[in-house]
């Protein structure tokens, strides 16, 4: 197979990043604001200062961590046909964006805060969109209890799609409740460990700090066999050095430190190396999604994950990130970044449906982004180079100056060899006619979204399971 891939680090530079990371972990260390997590790291050989709540992680603990971390994992789904085993040879599995706080109402277009009902609508739509492989709870359920937002959003998502759900938890107690919800769906905790139908993103506080609630959640998930995505969100010149080399080292150090907590808690706990690091807008301080530097860091992060042999989730894709309304809001840098995502060595990626630098989301944007992703991901498809596909006999038959349009081989194989979008999606691909077609494109995406919400019914959980989930949610209300 021939596969398009992109890298920026040479073998020597990969080793240099690793050595500088060891220096950071052993000499600077990491802040770990949990006595339980500090104890776990200490058991693995880390030097601990309980007063300052800092851990210094030696090289031998890093080596043991990498040795223990599984090299193959599977993010499972309620529907086993939608399971996602890695390592992934072709394009990355793609997910939505996550936890936006506002959306344009699909009927009025007016911007408003999101609710649990909105999240249900998003999940139903995502369940129907085949280019989406898994989902994040894309919008916040503002009407959920403050202390258990993530729990409520995970429960809504798991009940309204058969795809894998990737959530988060703010504390060890919330992590336990999420494990309880998922266990009710699959038939018990042992079954959940065999088939984890959800995973979690747990972000260090950059630079090099692990908040108590999040790191204790990591430990609970490790014990239950729930995959943990250690998403570093470094910002060059703000929470990491302005140099890309320094930022990449910070990203690597945060991932390895998080892995150490998981592996010292339970050897073989599934983990995913991750970065959503970028540059800040130096005028406002907010993250600048889609920057060229974000793409470069993503490429390097994916290479470091492959160096350690662990699964990875880096990069993102979405045409609406810089806009506040649905549509294609792109500049050349963001177009390049979208292409780069498909060509990194990553296993998972995300970003579908996001608006307003990830603060917003739109049902229409899900349609638009999925249609675009369906085309863009073709850059990473496997290109078979077997003997039969060279068709030298056919080339001889047609001869110089001939045409292949009329031969049976072309008609027979064109749909398997070429990307041919349906007529329904034609407006989405007219990316260079934005002035003429943008409004019409969004209107058609809105109509398609409404039709799906009307007609599509995701496979429900059993009534007894729903009642059990409701009991768990009631128990964790404020």
Instruction: Output the DSSP codes for 287-341.
Output: EETT-HHHHHHHHHHHHHHHHHT--EEEEE--S-TT-SSSS----HHHHHHHHHH
Residue with tokens 């604001």: 33
CB distance 345 to 383 below 8 Å: no
Q: Which CATH superfamily is domain 69-381+463-475 in?
A: Trimethylamine methyltransferase-like (3.20.20.480)
The ranges assigned to domains in the chain are: 11-67, 69-381+463-475, 387-417
Give the containing element (helix H, strand E) for 147.
none
What whole-number percentage of the chain has pLDDT above 90? 70
Assign 423 a pLDDT band (cuts: 50, 70, 90). low
* pLDDT, average across residues 71-93: 94
- pLDDT higher than 80, residue 426: no
Bigger pLDDT: 375 vs 471: 471
The tokens for 298 are 């993503």
Mean pLDDT of 72-82: 97
Helix (H/G/I), strand (E/B), else coil: 94: strand
pTM for this one?
A: 0.91
* Span 351-360, pLDDT tens digits: 999 998 889 9
Using one digit for the tens of pLDDT, what is the confidence trace for 130-180? 999 999 999 999 998 888 889 999 999 999 999 999 999 999 999 999 999
What distances in angstroms separate CA 44 from CA 37, 39, 55, 280, 426, one per listed residue?
Answer: 11, 9, 11, 36, 56
Half-sphere exposure at residue 416, Cβ-oriented, CA atoms within 13 angstroms: 7
pLDDT tens readout for residues 23-36: 999 999 999 999 99
For residues 82-111, give the mean pLDDT.
93
pLDDT in tens, 230-251: 999 999 888 999 999 999 999 9
Structure-model confidence comparison of residues 70 and 429, the more confident one: 70
Mean pLDDT of 398-415: 88
Structure confidence at residue 167 (pLDDT): 96
Mean pLDDT, rounded, for 91-111: 94
Judged against a pLDDT cut of 60, whether residue 433 lies above it is answered with: no
Band the pLDDT of 333: cuts 50, 70, 90.
low
pLDDT at 432: 42
Confidence grade of residue 374 (pLDDT, cut at 50, 70, 90): confident
Range from 187-201, 282-296, 308-322 carrying the lowest mean pLDDT: 282-296
Given a cut of 60, whether residue 428 has pLDDT beyond it is: no
- Tell me the pLDDT band of 421, cut-offs 50, 70 and 90: low
Position with higher pLDDT, 289 vs 148: 148
Which residue has better confidence, 154 or 433? 154
Q: Is the pLDDT of residue 2 over 70?
A: no
pLDDT of residue 336: 67
**pLDDT surpasses 50 at 310:** yes
- What is the pLDDT at residue 25? 98
Question: C-alpha angle 236/240/243, rounded to 5°?
Answer: 55
Q: Answer whether residue 272 shows pLDDT above 80.
A: yes
Could you tell me if 177 and 148 are in contact, meaning their C-beta atoms sit under 8 angstroms apart? yes
Lowest mean pLDDT among 24-38, 205-219, 292-306, 335-349: 335-349
Mean pLDDT of the chain: 90
Q: Which residue has the higher pLDDT, 412 or 341?
A: 412
Q: Do residues 315 and 349 touch, judged by C-beta distance below 8 A?
A: yes
* Rama region for 339: left / alpha / beta (φ>0; ψ in -120 to 50; rest): alpha
Q: What is the mean pLDDT of residues 412-422?
A: 74
Over range 201-206, report the average pLDDT.
95
Cβ–Cβ < 8 Å for 231, 274: yes
């Amino acid at each position: 197979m021939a596969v398009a891939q992109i890298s920026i680090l040479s073998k020597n530079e990969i080793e240099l990043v690793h050595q500088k990371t060891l220096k950071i972990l052993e000499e600077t260390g990491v802040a770990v604001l949990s006595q339980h997590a500090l104890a776990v790291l200490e058991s693995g050989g880390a030097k601990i200062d309980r007063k300052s709540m800092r851990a210094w992680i030696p090289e031998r603990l890093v080596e043991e961590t990498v040795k223990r971390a599984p090299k193959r994992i599977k993010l499972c789904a309620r529907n086993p046909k939608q399971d996602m085993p890695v390592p992934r040879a072709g394009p990355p599995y793609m997910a939505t964006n996550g936890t936006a706080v506002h959306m344009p109402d699909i009927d009025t277009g007016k911007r408003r805060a999101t609710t649990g009902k909105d999240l249900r609508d998003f999940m139903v739509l995502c369940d129907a969109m085949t280019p989406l492989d898994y989902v994040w709870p894309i919008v916040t359920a503002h009407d959920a209890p403050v202390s258990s937002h993530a729990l409520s959003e995970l429960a809504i998502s798991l009940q309204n799609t058969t795809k894998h759900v990737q959530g988060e938890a703010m504390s060890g107690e919330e992590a336990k409740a999420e494990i309880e919800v998922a266990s009710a769906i699959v038939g018990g905790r042992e079954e959940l460990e065999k088939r984890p139908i959800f995973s979690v993103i747990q972000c260090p506080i950059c630079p090099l700090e692990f908040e108590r609630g999040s790191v204790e959640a990591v430990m609970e998930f490790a014990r239950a066999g729930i995959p943990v995505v250690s998403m570093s969100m470094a910002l060059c010149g703000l929470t990491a050095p302005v140099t890309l080399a320094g930022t990449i080292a910070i990203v690597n150090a945060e991932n390895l430190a998080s892995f150490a907590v998981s592996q010292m808690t339970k050897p073989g706990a599934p983990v995913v190396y991750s970065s959503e690091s970028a540059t800040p807008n130096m005028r406002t301080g907010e993250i600048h999604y889609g920057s060229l530097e974000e793409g470069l860091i993503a490429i390097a992060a994916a290479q470091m994950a492959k160096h350690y042999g662990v699964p990875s989730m880096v990069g993102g894709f979405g045409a609406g990130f810089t806009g506040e309304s649905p549509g294609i809001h792109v500049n050349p840098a963001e177009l390049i970044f979208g292409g780069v995502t498909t060509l990194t060595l990553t296993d998972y990626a995300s970003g579908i449906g996001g608006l307003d630098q990830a603060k917003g989301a739109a049902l229409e944007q899900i349609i638009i982004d999925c249609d675009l992703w369906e085309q863009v991901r073709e850059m990473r498809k496997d290109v078979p180079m077997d003997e039969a596909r060279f068709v030298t006999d056919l080339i001889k038959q047609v001869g110089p100056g001939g045409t292949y349009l009329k031969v049976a081989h072309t008609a027979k194989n064109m749909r398997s060899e070429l990307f041919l979008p349906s007529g329904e999606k034609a407006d989405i691909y007219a990316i260079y006619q934005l002035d003429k077609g943008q409004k019409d494109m969004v209107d058609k995406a809105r109509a398609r979204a409404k039709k799906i919400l009307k007609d599509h019914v995701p496979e429900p959980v059993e009534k007894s399971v729903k009642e059990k989930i409701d009991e768990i949610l009631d128990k964790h209300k404020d």
